[in-house]
Amino acid sequence: MARVALVTGGMGGLGEAVCIKLAALGYRVVTTYSPGNTKAPEWLASMKNLGYDFHAFPCDVADYDSAQQCVATVEKEIGAVDVLVNNAGITRDMTFKKMDKPNWDAVMRTNLDSVFNMTKPVCDGMVERGWGRIINISSVNGQKGAFGQTNYSAAKAGMHGFTKALALEVARKAVTVNTISPGYIGTKMVMAIPKEVLDSKIIPQIPMARLGKPEEVAGLVAYLASDEAAFVTGANIAINGGQHMY
C-alpha cells in the first residue's frame, strides 16, 4: 500500500514541486487549498493532464477546527497520513514601526499556528503505527532575520523550536520531525519581487549567484520523507545557495 503524503499549500510554486516529486516516487499525494480558492479544480485538472492524480481538500490551516476536519476527511477517503509537509505560508512585510496587530496575527496564524493545527491530528497515528515523517518548511529568514519581516521571521524561527521539541517526544516510535529552511527560491512569490531589487539586493547575497529551484527543495523533502532518512530528526537543513551558513 502506497504511503499517503499530505502537503499543505500544495498548489503554490514550492508546494506543487513537492507534490510532483512525492507522486513520482509513488506516494499518494493529498494537498490542501484555501476554502475560497476557486482555481483548485483547474489546478487538479492541469496536474491530471501531466499524469498526476492528486487529491485536494479545502482547509483553513490557520483554523484548528478546519484542520481537524480536513485530516478526518483525508483519513476517511484516502487513508492515514504517513508524511506531513507543513508548507503553507504567507507574508505581510512591513517595518516593525508600521506593523499592526492584524498583520502580525495573520502571519503567525498561517505560518506557525498551522504547524500545530495540522500536526496535532496526524501525530498520534504515526506514533501508533511506528512510522511517520513531519517536515516543516521554514525559511532562511527564520535563521538570520530580515528587514521588514519581524512577523515572518518570528513565525519561521518558531517552526524549528516546534520541530526540535516534538522530535524528542516521538523519536523512539520511528517518527522523525525536521525543518527545511530554503533561501530565495524561484517561486511566484519571489518572482513578484521587482527585477531590479532581485538583481541589486538579493542575488548578490547568494554565493551561487542564482535563485534556488523549487525542484531542488522538493528533492530534499523527498529525502527526509524516505526510509533512508530514518536517523535524521530534529534537524534544520539549510538550502540557500550559501547565503547563510551557521
Q: Where are the domains of the chain?
A: 4-239
State the pLDDT at residue 28: 98
**Contacting residues for 228 by C-beta, under 8 A, at least 6 apart:** none
State the pLDDT at residue 36: 85
State the pLDDT at residue 219: 98
User: 202 vs 101, 195, 212, 230, CA distance in Å?
Assistant: 28, 10, 12, 35
% helix / strand / coil in the chain, to the nearest 5?
50, 15, 35
What is the C-alpha radius of gyration for the chain, rounded to an integer number of angstroms? 17
Phi-psi region of 93 (alpha: psi -120 to 50; beta: other; left: phi over 0): beta
Contact 136, 193 (CB under 8 A): no
What span, in angstroms and rounded, lies between the C-alpha atoms of 178 and 97? 33
State the pLDDT at residue 38: 87
State the pLDDT at residue 172: 98
What span, in angstroms and rounded, lies between the C-alpha atoms of 187 and 14? 6
Contact 27, 10 (CB under 8 A): no
State the pLDDT at residue 79: 97
Q: What kind and span of H or E run contains 70?
A: helix 64-77
What span, in angstroms and rounded, lies between the C-alpha atoms of 51 and 43? 13
Class for domain 4-239, per CATH? alpha beta
Q: What residues act catalytically?
A: 152
State the pLDDT at residue 188: 81
pLDDT digit string, tens, across residues 90-131? 999 999 999 999 999 999 999 999 999 999 999 999 999 999
Which of the residues in the chain have pLDDT under 70? Answer: none
